[in-house]
């Protein structure tokens, strides 16, 4: 059985993964209506799907351990962006927030001596390392490109490749 504290924290994490999925869905939708950002559009649709999978894994885990996973209500995410750069800055900020939340959760499992949940969360720890590294790399590339249209064209063309390298 999960302790109340762990169950509560896992439910909070479920809500966070769900809002990540929504945030990236909004980024995908924004990118889709900009000219020529097909790569970025696919990238964020895929990120959004992945976040939903992260949420589902948590839901299944909470219920399997005798808890009750709560499907959260979601506020509307940011839907418009000043620039592509801004989208990727928000992406990195968002992932950093998720990592912090996972770290706190891992800390709590030690405090509560819930070693099964501690073990379960290791997958999220590595996932966050990867996602943050990817977000940083994409921000660095955009920094390099600046306002150069040719550079943005190549960034968009290659984004799915960068993704599979991470
Ligand atoms: Fe699931 O938060 Fe990113 O990967």
Integer Cα distance of 158 and 152 in angstroms: 10
> Looking at this predicted complex, what is its ipTM?
0.92
Integer Cα distance of 48 and 129 in angstroms: 17
Best mutation site among 14, 19, 53, 127 for ligand 1 pocket (most ligand atoms within 8 Å of CB): 127
Q: Which residues of the chain have pLDDT under 70?
A: 164-166
Write down the pLDDT at residue 163: 75
Token pair 């939708």: residue: 29
The set of residues, in sequence order, having a beta carbon less than 8 Å from that of 131 and lying 6+ positions away, is 95, 98, 99, 166
Other residues' Cβ atoms within 10 Å of the Cβ of residue 100: 11
Q: Is the CB of 127 under 6 A from ligand 1?
A: yes
The set of residues, in sequence order, having a beta carbon less than 8 Å from that of 53 and lying 6+ positions away, is none
Question: Which pTM was predicted?
Answer: 0.95
Write down the pLDDT at residue 164: 63
């Amino acid at each position: 059985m999960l302790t109340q504290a762990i169950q509560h924290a896992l439910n909070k994490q479920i809500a966070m993964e769900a809002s990540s999925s929504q945030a990236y869905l909004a980024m995908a939708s924004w990118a889709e209506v900009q000219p020529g950002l097909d790569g970025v559009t696919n990238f964020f649709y895929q990120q959004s799907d992945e976040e939903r999978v992260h949420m589902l894994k948590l839901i299944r885990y909470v219920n399997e351990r005798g808890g009750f996973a709560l499907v959260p209500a979601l506020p509307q995410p940011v839907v418009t962006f000043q620039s592509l750069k801004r989208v990727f800055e928000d992406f990195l900020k968002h992932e950093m927030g998720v990592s912090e939340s996972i770290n706190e959760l891992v800390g709590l499992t030690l405090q509560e001596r819930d070693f099964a949940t501690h073990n379960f969360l290791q997958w999220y720890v590595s996932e966050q390392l990867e996602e943050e590294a990817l977000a940083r790399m994409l921000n660095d590339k955009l920094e390099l490109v600046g306002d150069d249209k040719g550079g943005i064209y190549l960034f968009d063309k290659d984004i799915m490749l960068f993704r599979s390298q991470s």
